[in-house]
Amino acid sequence: MARKPIESFAEAQRLAKRKMPKAVYTALISGNEKGSTIRQNPAAFERIGWLPRVARETREEQPLVRETATTALGMKLSMPVLPGPAGAQAIHPEAEVAVAKAAKEAGTAIGLSSFATKPMEEVAAANPNWMYQLYWTGTRDDILWRLERAKRAGSKALIVTLDATGGGLGRRDWGSPSIPNQVDLKAVFRFAPLAASRPAWILKFLAKGGIPDLGVPNSRSNPDREPAFAEVYAELMSTPVPTWADVEWLREVWDGPLVVKGLMRGEEAKRAVDAGADAIVVSNHGGNNLDSSYASIRVLPAVARAVQGQAEVWFDGGIRRGMDVAKALALGADIVLVGRLWIFGLAAGGQQGVHDMLEMVRDGLHWSLVGLGHRSFKDLSPDDIVAPDGFFFDPDTKTRLEDLELRRSRG
């Protein structure tokens, strides 16, 4: 009997909740503090309305053919969507390797987190179109060692995340997840009730010869020891946040494409371009950094305008369906990253669950283009949408959406 695909983000979330221990599921759905930003990110998309087109001037010979193929920093993609980096995803035995395989099957790339649980070499073997995401932890020598390793493993680009400033896993109204430094006997007894609550979940790991992996192999500073997530996270919180001089140094030592992630202001996007960024990511860290940060889709048009086509504009935050992708593309994005969408797909169905989420997004983007009368996603523009007054603005100039003249970087 053919397997029924997961058809929506909501379905993937329901399946994940049913399969996973409560504490693990809570860690996936939660943001920082009250979770204001994590709710606002997807809610902001609901306030964007389409202005569909109906009758055409001529009949289409192939009425349902729509162009979605594109490139990202030279990588060929079947659609302008890719799984973005997300750390500590030991929610399935195959973790990021399953995501990489699903992305390859869908014809797209993957961003791999410094805090991923699978080594970059395994991910590279599963999908050669991958990019290493760097958190600024440790010394420059530590960082240089990681970059050299990523280069040897074939990373197509370097993504440096600037918006990890200490607001992540610490203060949550619903309780903070407790992650041990290592799975010793004490930790086993402590977390035994959690595992017993969803025996099928833990049995998947045992069938693969182990238990959920708490190591972060891609944050090593040397080849001798693999640090634990809690250890590296503590290091991140104690390391001074990077400066623009640090970004410029990265540009000097990394000879491939450079992506600067976590920008919400036009002035900072321009600064990143001046520092040598080949792409910037409009993102508020998915609600896991500074709570009450503005929804990233609200500032996307202004940031895209500030870049003026000098770098690719990538977007991250709140994507739950293909129509959301179309809206982000209409407002200035060249590439859209998905995060919780693939996370819940992985939790619900492993590699196939991630594949289902990517194909669901592709299908939604296709039908958005059909309804709007466009043959290609590159034809999407602010003319296709209606949004409330003041919905989009530049945090620096308070520019309104109707005043924006986007110079898009795609040809």
- Tell me which of 70-79, 149-158, 201-210, 384-393 is least confident: 201-210
Query: Residue 198: pLDDT above 70?
Result: no
**Residues 245, 239: Cα–Cα separation, whole Å:** 15
Query: Catalytic site residue 285?
Result: yes
Using the CB atoms, write b or e for 264-298: b if 16+ within 10 Å.
bbbebbbbbbebebbbbbbbbbbbbbbbebebbbb
Using the CB atoms, write b or e for 129-138: b if 16+ within 10 Å.
bbbbbbbbbb
When pLDDT is averaged across residues 5-33 and rounded to a whole number, the result is 84
Query: Residue 60: pLDDT above 80?
Result: no
Query: Residue 209: pLDDT above 70?
Result: no
Residue 215: the pLDDT is 77
Domains and CATH numbers, the chain: 9-54+63-173+215-388 (3.20.20.70)
Q: Nearest to residue 159, comparing CAs of 79, 29, 257, 238?
A: 257
Residue 402: the pLDDT is 40
Residue 152: the pLDDT is 97
Using the CB atoms, write b or e for 2-30: b if 16+ within 10 Å.
eeeebeebebbbebbbebbbeebbbbbeb
Query: Residue 211: pLDDT above 70?
Result: no
Query: Residue 78: pLDDT above 70?
Result: yes
Contacts of 120 (CB under 8 A, 6+ apart): 112, 130, 132, 149, 150, 153, 155, 217, 218
> What is the band of 399 on the pLDDT scale with cuts at 50, 70, 90?
very low
Most confident segment among 40-44, 179-183, 191-195: 40-44
> What is the band of 20 on the pLDDT scale with cuts at 50, 70, 90?
confident
**Residues 268, 408: Cα–Cα separation, whole Å:** 18
Q: Nearest to residue 278, comparing CAs of 393, 157, 151?
A: 157
Residue 193: the pLDDT is 59
Pairwise pLDDT comparison (21 vs 274), residue with the higher score: 274
> What is the band of 173 on the pLDDT scale with cuts at 50, 70, 90?
low
Residue 225: the pLDDT is 77
Strand partners, 335: 314
Residue 231: the pLDDT is 79
When pLDDT is averaged across residues 276-280 and rounded to a whole number, the result is 98
Percentage of the chain surpassing pLDDT 70? Answer: 81
> What is the band of 203 on the pLDDT scale with cuts at 50, 70, 90?
low
> What is the band of 56 on the pLDDT scale with cuts at 50, 70, 90?
confident
Residue 386: the pLDDT is 87
DSSP state of 340: H
**Candidates 92, 285, 355, 374; catalytic one:** 285
When pLDDT is averaged across residues 362-369 and rounded to a whole number, the result is 97
Q: How far is CA 77 from CA 81, 185, 356, 375, 384, in A?
A: 8, 46, 17, 17, 24
- Tell me which of 94-108, 173-187, 299-313, 379-393 is least confident: 173-187
Mean pLDDT of the chain: 84
Residue 197: the pLDDT is 64
- Tell me which of 120-134, 149-163, 362-376, 381-395 is least confident: 381-395
